[in-house]
A = this chain, B = another copy of it.
């Protein structure tokens, strides 16, 4: 199989390794070994592990964006799309055996005060993720299926953060309980 450039191999390996072991649990050597490239080649492409972490987050975000595309499918009622979206995130977590969790959530818990560059990137990605959910919440409020006594923006932020918190708990408990409780309570309480 053809492999990408050294830089590309490093980014692909970094997404995998940083997602599994966290920023401080991963050394540059862990990444170059996973990428099967010489350790010395790292600094030809990246200033630091921090710079690479920002690129790896961007790459991970592309996967999140792919999943978010289902939220825009206008043939399905908005509230059904929202529910399916979070069920889909839960399915992905289950298939991964409740390991690794969400790379964006993990880094948010681990290191926002350690790296300004990573924190700023996390803030931008979480804001974009919230906005994608917000559009769908607004549609569901317009068709009367989600309660209207709270702003779509606030509900969307709540949904995303609450899912991240449930994912964190699932990593500890290694079962579906927290993620199921999230969907049941959030949708039970917000859907009219």
A residues with a Cβ closer than 8 A to B are 20-25, 99-101, 105-106, 108-114, 119, 122-123, 126, 147, 149-150, 154-155, 157-158, 160-169, 171-174, 177-178, 181-182, 184-186, 188-190
Contacts and interface: CB of A to CB of B under 8 A. Distances in A.
Q: Which 7 A-B pairs have the closest CB atoms?
A: A165-B165, A109-B109, A24-B24, A189-B189, A162-B162, A161-B165, A158-B185
Contact of A150 (B23, B119, B171, B188): B188
A172 B114 CA distance: 11
A40 to B, nearest CB: 24
Which of A114, A119, A161 has the most chain B CB atoms closer than 10 A to its own CB? A161
Given A157-B177, A185-B154, A109 B168 contact: yes
Contact of A25 (B105, B111, B158): B111
Contacts of A24: 21-25, 110
Given A22-B110, A185-B154, A189-B189, A169 B164 contact: yes
A44 B150 CA distance: 56
A76 B184 CA distance: 29
B184 A112 contact: no
Contacts of A167: 165
Contact of A113 (B111, B113, B158, B171): B171
